[in-house]
Amino acid sequence: MGENVITIKDLKKVYGLQNAVNGLNLNVPKGSVYGFLGRNGAGKTTTIKILLGLLSAKSGEVNVLGYNPKNEKEAVEIRKRTGYVSENQKMYDNMKIKEIISFTKSFYKTWDDKLAAEFLKRFNLDEKKKLSELSRGMYAQVALLLALAFKPELLVLDEPTGSLDAIVRRDFLESVVSLIQEEGRTVFFSSHQINEVERVSDWVGIIEAGKLLVSAPIDELKTKTKRIRSVFKEKAPEVNFGGIICKKADGRELVTIVENFGEEILSKIKKEKPESLDVYDMNLEEIFVAYAGGRI
């Protein structure tokens, strides 16, 4: 997986006085399912829109599938090769499902009728229905169908399950998983549903205040991020060394959350001579809270 499908260098985007994206660096390896995690307003949607050439950046370098979205012509190439589903996607609501399918199909050479029919069946969609008559879940399923049926090299999902109920969300994720099965496909997936990101992704990046705080294979992140609880004879000491994500000293107790956990980190805490020292695994949600919220 040497190749990157998306590379972003020092990206900046300003809305008025606000830095929406503030020096973002990001690489998405080919074939990965990249979970892009961040709180509301962290800059996820802005970043995605810049990737697709739907917004222009203030500065920075962006490359998607070998094209630069700043250039209008190249942005078209990106959109031709990228399936995109966003939370509040707008489609032509007066069309019937059948009509929007043939309409969308006309834009793509790679459209696969069989695949489209499969999705219709799997989602139990009646193609004679108008989009305006659909529930939110069905609406999102149509959007996914349109994004997948032309077999894009890259699938970009911006909070795709935000408005879906538990059952539809399940079907939706299943479709995403079946899509991943096809080799070489890359999925870039923004969400704050941390559970589903964890299931489906193999890479995660955490964005906060327009900057990427960490980006790693999910298993590595989970193995190397640990919570260390140490209790001292008297007041817990102040510790400060590289690798601390956040810490909290309370009376005799010191809790630190560290990245790159290993003997080296342990020895730094042991040096303070704690009476006891325990190391705990962390789930992705806890890791997210530590990075994005600075909380123990």
Partner 1 sequence: MYIEVNPNSGLPIFLQIKNQVKRMIAAGMLKKDEPVTSVRQLALELRVNPNTIAKAYRELELEGFLYTQRGRGVFVAGKSDKTSTLSKDERIKSISSLADQIAVEAFHLGLSKEDIEKLLKEKFKKLEK
Which residues sit at the interface with partner 1, rule CB under 8 A? Answer: 33, 170, 173-174, 177-178, 180-181, 194-196, 198-202, 218-219, 222-223, 280-286
Nearest distance in Å: CB 181, partner 1: 6
Q: Are 205 and 215 in contact (CB under 8 A)?
A: yes
Sole residue written with tokens 């969300």:
169
Sole residue written with tokens 């003997």:
263
Neighbour tally for 202: CB within 10 Å? 16
Q: Which is nearer to partner 1, 63 or 225 (CB)?
A: 225
- For residues 199, 90, 43, 39, the Cα torsion angle rounded to the nearest 10 degrees is -50
Query: Percentages helix, strand, coil for the chain, rounded to the nearest 5?
Result: 35, 30, 35
Nearest distance in Å: CB 127, partner 1: 24
What CA–CA distance (Å, rounded) separates 240 from 274?
A: 15
Q: Which is nearer to partner 1, 67 or 172 (CB)?
A: 172
Q: Are 169 and 16 in contact (CB under 8 A)?
A: no
Nearest distance in Å: CB 128, partner 1: 29
As beta bridge partners, residue 186 has 154
Nearest distance in Å: CB 223, partner 1: 6
Q: Who contacts 173 (Cβ-Cβ below 8 Å, separation ≥6)?
A: 161, 196, 199, 200
Q: Per the structure block, which two tokens stand in for 207? A: 């964005």
Q: Which is nearer to partner 1, 61 or 174 (CB)?
A: 174
- For residues 257, 258, 261, 265, the Cα torsion angle rounded to the nearest 10 degrees is -100
Nearest distance in Å: CB 65, partner 1: 21
Sole residue written with tokens 């001292």:
232
Nearest distance in Å: CB 230, partner 1: 17
Q: Which is nearer to partner 1, 36 or 67 (CB)?
A: 36
Nearest distance in Å: CB 107, partner 1: 29
Q: Which is nearer to partner 1, 152 or 210 (CB)?
A: 152
Q: Are 6 and 26 in contact (CB under 8 A)?
A: yes
Say whether 157 sits in a helix, a strand or coil: strand
Nearest distance in Å: CB 218, partner 1: 7
What DSSP character marks residue 216?
E
Q: Which is nearer to partner 1, 145 or 179 (CB)?
A: 179
Handedness of CA 174, 154, 90, 88 (dihedral sign): positive
Q: Which is nearer to partner 1, 91 or 282 (CB)?
A: 282
As beta bridge partners, residue 156 has 84, 188
Q: Which is nearer to partner 1, 31 or 60 (CB)?
A: 31
